[in-house]
Amino acid sequence: MTRPVLGVTMGDAAGVGPEIIARAAAEPSVGATCRPVVIGAAGPMREALALIGSPLALHAVTRVADCRWAGGTLEVLDLANVDMATLPRGEVSAAAGRAAYEYIERAVTLAGAGEIDAIVTAPVNKEALAAAGVQHSGHTEILAQLSDTRDFAMLLMGKELKVIHVTTHVSLRRVPDLVTRERVLKTIRLAQRTLQDLGRPRGRIAVAGLNPHAGEDGLFGDEEQHHIVPAIEAARADGLNVTGPLPADTLFSRARGGEFDIVVAMYHDQGHIPVKTLGFEYDETTKTWTGLSGVNVTVGLPFLRVSVDHGTAFDRAWKGVANHESMVEALDIATTMLHAQRHDPTGEED
């Protein structure tokens, strides 16, 4: 099958984005399975290649059609919007935030035009985006706005867990009001879409409760009775394989053990903590992250978007020590999901 073209947005130039892209692009497995083109700026990418002593040579283009994907090269669609002479590395910068937004904007345009098959994103910084006057604080909301998408959800995929979220970047005070039957049902359906995109249309979906012990029949809260259970019943009526609501304190262990294929979490930390606890490893002796497994997928967009599951890591940026494991994983997951969609775009089993 033809290797898909993946548009890799460079993220915040002051952070680890350029380095993890440069490191990932040099991995033999990446070039063998996909054709990445960095949507960013040639200056930061050229310096990142030099920083890590990369064997790759930079090939700057102004159109995706001009990419060659020759051996030993890194294709960069150069927006030329970062001045490396004045960039404050490892710090919040409005200029870097504005540039990062422009990479996302261009990627959405290219995906809509069919010039790239999917978008893979390096991390952006929420403070830098805000300093640049960007209305939305993160990738998920920006991509939804740019693509005019209303029904979308954040999916985290680690090596052992897949978790999709009913709510994400909102305060905990707002969560109970947002856990409605309609919103939970929408997320369950997006979980089903995810399983179809992964080639598992008959996969098992588990739904977490919002309250301790999933509410204990109303003893600790009634969101389960009034909203979550009705959503599950509606999903079952549609033929989906759904279980719940289940207490979150044991659900993730059950999913990790193989009882379920994907978990619907009610709020950001309920889903993020188990995935990142399993995927992130920190070595206190060397003060380094020895493992950064996990990716973020925005489900519901008119195109596939996969991202690393970590931030800009300003404390490690431009020191030549950034871990690129999550970026390699993001490129691999994007390729895998694209192949599954091409093999059976309807999600029906053979």
Helix axes 42-51, 17-25, angle to 10 degrees: 70
Q: What is the pLDDT of residues 106-138, one digit of tens each?
A: 999 999 999 999 999 999 999 999 999 998 768
pLDDT on residue 1: 53
Domain boundaries of the chain, sorted by first residue: 1-149+302-350, 151-300
Using the predicted structure, report yes or no on whether residue 71 has a pLDDT greater than 70: yes
Q: What is the pLDDT of residues 307-333, one digit of tens each?
A: 998 899 999 999 999 999 999 999 999
Cα(15)–Cα(10) distance, integer angstroms: 10
Protein fold of 1-149+302-350: Isopropylmalate Dehydrogenase (3.40.718)
pLDDT on residue 159: 86
Choice among 22-26, 28-32, 137-141, 316-320 with the minimum mean pLDDT: 137-141
Cα(125)–Cα(147) distance, integer angstroms: 21
Cα(256)–Cα(127) distance, integer angstroms: 34
Q: What is the CATH number of domain 151-300?
A: 3.40.718.10
Using the predicted structure, report yes or no on whether residue 49 has a pLDDT greater than 90: yes
pLDDT on residue 45: 98
The two domains 1-149+302-350 and 151-300 share their CATH topology (first three levels equal): yes
Query: Once rounded to an integer, what is the mean pLDDT over residues 178-184?
Result: 97
Helix axes 325-343, 181-197, angle to 10 degrees: 80
pLDDT on residue 286: 77
Cα(299)–Cα(306) distance, integer angstroms: 9
pLDDT on residue 169: 84
Cα(181)–Cα(162) distance, integer angstroms: 22
Closest CA to 303 of 144, 75, 179: 144
Indicate the pTM of the whole model.
0.87
pLDDT on residue 199: 83
Cα(299)–Cα(153) distance, integer angstroms: 5
Q: What is the pLDDT of residues 198-219, one digit of tens each?
A: 888 899 999 999 999 999 989 9
Q: Using the structure block, give the residue that is written with the tokens 């599951």.
A: 309
Using the predicted structure, report yes or no on whether residue 13 has a pLDDT greater than 80: yes
Positive/negative CA dihedral, 97, 100, 101, 102: positive
pLDDT on residue 343: 65
Q: What is the pLDDT of residues 136-157, one digit of tens each?
A: 768 888 999 999 999 899 999 9
pLDDT on residue 197: 84
Q: What is the pLDDT of residues 83-97, one digit of tens each?
A: 999 999 999 999 999
pLDDT on residue 348: 43
